[in-house]
Structure 1
Amino acid sequence: MKMKELLLFLSGVLCVSADVLHENIRITGCSESDGEFMYGLDGEEIAYTDFNKQKIIYPQPPFIDPFTYQEGVYELAVGEQQTCKHNLKVDLKAYKNPPMQQDAPSGVMMYTRDEVEFGEKNTLICHVTGFYPAPVNVSWTKNGQKVTGSSINVPYPNKDGTFTQISRLQITPQLGDIYGCAVAHLVLPKPVTKLYEVDSAAQSDPGVGPAVFCGVGLTVGLLGVAAGTFFLIKGNECS
C-alpha cells in the first residue's frame, strides 16, 4: 500500500532522580487514510489509540500496577488527527507532492522472552526495525502451518526517523518445533522470513550454573586452606 505520510513528534526528557533520565514521548501521525496517536516511555509504548474501536488501548504487562490517563484523551487524539491531516494537505501542496522516502527493514530478529523450558508457556518475539514508512505486516507459522493469536505494537520511531515494531506470539515450546516470522513491507519484493527452532540446546540445564559456581568456590576454598596450612607450618619451623 503506497501512501503519503507526515509524522509530528512531541517528545521530552523526564528526570525522576538526580542521576536517572527517562524519555517520555507522545506521537501524532497521519496519512491520507490512516492515523496514529501514542504515548511511549523509554522505547516502549504505554498507550495508543485504536480509532476502529474508538478507545485508548493500554498494552501493559501484568506485573505492573495498571494506570490510565484522564478522561478526554481519545477526544484529544481525534482532534489532533484532524489537525494532522489538514497540515498534511498543506505541506504536500507547498512541497509539490515530493516522493516518499522508502527504507526496507534493516534488521529482523527472533528470540524468546524467557529461558526455554519444554512444555512451559513462553513468548516468542519478532523484532523488526529500520523501516520507513510504517507499518510492517508480520505473520507467524508453526511447523510450516499459519498460526493466529499474535500481537504487534504500533510503529515506534527510531532516532534516525525510521520505525520499529515488535510482534509477539504465545507458545508452549516442544522439542523439534520450528516457528517462522514473516515480515512484509512496502519496499520488500517478498516477505523476509526468520526461523526459530526449538532444539535441545535451547533448553538450558538449571543445575549447570550453580554446580560450576559451587565447584569453583570449593576449589578456591581448598587452595586457601592449603596455603594457610603451609604458612602455619613454616612459621612454626622458624620459631
Structure 2
Amino acid sequence: MKMKELLLFLSCVLCVCADVLHEDIAINACSDSDGEFMYGLDGEEKGYADFNKQEFIYPQPPFIDRTTYANPYEQAVANQQICRSNLKIRRDAMKDIPLEHDAPSGVTIYTRDEVEFGVQNTLICHVTGFYPAPVNVSWTKNGQKVTGSSINTPYLNKDGSFRQTSRLDFTPQLGDVYSCAVQHLALAEPLAKIYEVDSSAHSDPGVGPSVFCGVGLTLGLVGVAVGTFFLIKGNECS
C-alpha cells in the first residue's frame, strides 16, 4: 500500500508544470575570423562582448536598473577559446559539412522618433530571419556612403535564425534620401531599403512608435475579451 502511495505521489510531482515567466539566454558562437558572446532576457540584450574594443558592453539606457556580471569580458575570451577548440573537433568529425544559408526574410527602415526638420533623430534598419550570422549593413545619404552607424550583435530568433539592428543618427532635411544596404552570404547582391524625407515628414511618426501602439492596442483588446469570457462563464456557473 505504501509503495502505491509513493508511486502516486511521484506521478503527481512529475505532472506538475508552471508557466514560463521569463526566458534567459546565453550565446557563445565563433568562426575562424569572428566570435560572439552575449546574455539576453525576454528577447532583449543584457550585455555582449565587443572583441574589437576588448570590453563588455551593456546596451541598456542609463535609467535601466541593469544586471552586471563579474569579469564578463575575460569569461567571454575564455569561452571563445573553448568554442574554437570544439569547432575544430566537430569539423574533423563531420568533414566540415557546409553551412545552410538563409537570406534575410525581412528588412525594415524607420525613425526612432517623430520626424521634425532640423531636429536630430535616428534611423533604424532592422534585419531578421537570416542564417548564419552576421549581416553587414551600410548606409547612404543621397547616393553617397555615410559613416558613423552602429550595429548590435546578432540575436537568436526562436526558429533558429538571427536578427540584427543598425542605427544611424541623422538630421532630417526636406528632400534627403537615405538607404540601408544589407549584405549576407545567402544574397547575390545587397538588399536595400530606402527612407525619404518628404514634405509630410514633420507630422508623421516613425514606423516604430506606430508598431508599438498597435501591439499595445491589440493586447488591450485581447485582455478585454478574455475578461468578458470569464465573467460570462462565472455567471453561468452561479
Q: Is the pair's TM-score, using the shorter chain for normalization, greater than 0.5?
A: yes
* Cα contact 1:45–1:153 (8 A) shared by 2: no
CA RMSD in angstroms comes to 2.1
- Render the CA deviation track for 1:154-213: whole Å, top value 9, x for unaligned: 01111111110100011111221111101111121111111001112332279xxxxxxx
TM-score (norm 1): 0.73
In the alignment, what sits opposite 2:26? 26
More helix by share: 2
Deviation (angstroms), 1:58: 1.8
- Supply the distance in 2 between the matched residues of 1:19 and 1:95 (Cα, whole angstroms): 38
In the alignment, what sits opposite 1:58? 58
In the TM superposition, 1:107-186 aligns within 5 A as: 107-186=106-185
In the TM superposition, 1:32-71 aligns within 5 A as: 32-65=32-65, 68-70=68-70
TM-score (norm 2): 0.73
- Supply the distance in 1 between the matched residues of 2:120 and 2:203 (Cα, whole angstroms): 15
- Supply the distance in 1 between the matched residues of 2:37 and 2:124 (Cα, whole angstroms): 24
Aligned residue type for 1:168: R
Aligned residue type for 2:29: G
In the alignment, what sits opposite 2:198? 199
- Unmatched 5+ stretches in structure 2: 1-17, 206-238
In the alignment, what sits opposite 2:7? none
- Render the CA deviation track for 1:24-51: whole Å, top value 9, x for unaligned: 2111001122211011222222211122
In the TM superposition, 1:78-97 aligns within 5 A as: 78-97=77-96
Deviation (angstroms), 1:67: 5.5
- Supply the distance in 1 between the matched residues of 2:156 and 2:164 (Cα, whole angstroms): 9
In the alignment, what sits opposite 1:226? none
- Unmatched 5+ stretches in structure 1: 1-17, 207-239
SS in structure 2 of the partner of residue 80 of structure 1: helix
In the alignment, what sits opposite 1:223? none
SS in structure 1 of the partner of residue 172 of structure 2: coil
SS in structure 1 of the partner of residue 23 of structure 2: strand
* Cα contact 2:184–2:190 (8 A) shared by 1: yes
- Supply the distance in 1 between the matched residues of 2:20 and 2:110 (Cα, whole angstroms): 28
In the TM superposition, 1:212-231 aligns within 5 A as: none
- Render the CA deviation track for 1:125-155: whole Å, top value 9, x for unaligned: 0001111111111111111111111100001
* Cα contact 2:46–2:67 (8 A) shared by 1: no
Provide runs of 4+ in structure 1 moved above 4 Å: none
Question: Which protein shows a greater Rg?
Answer: 1
Pairs aligned (count): 188
In the alignment, what sits opposite 2:100? 101
- Supply the distance in 2 between the matched residues of 1:20 and 1:99 (Cα, whole angstroms): 36
| Compared CA separation, residues 60 and 128, structure 1 to 2 (3 A) | same
Identity %: 72
SS in structure 2 of the partner of residue 69 of structure 1: coil
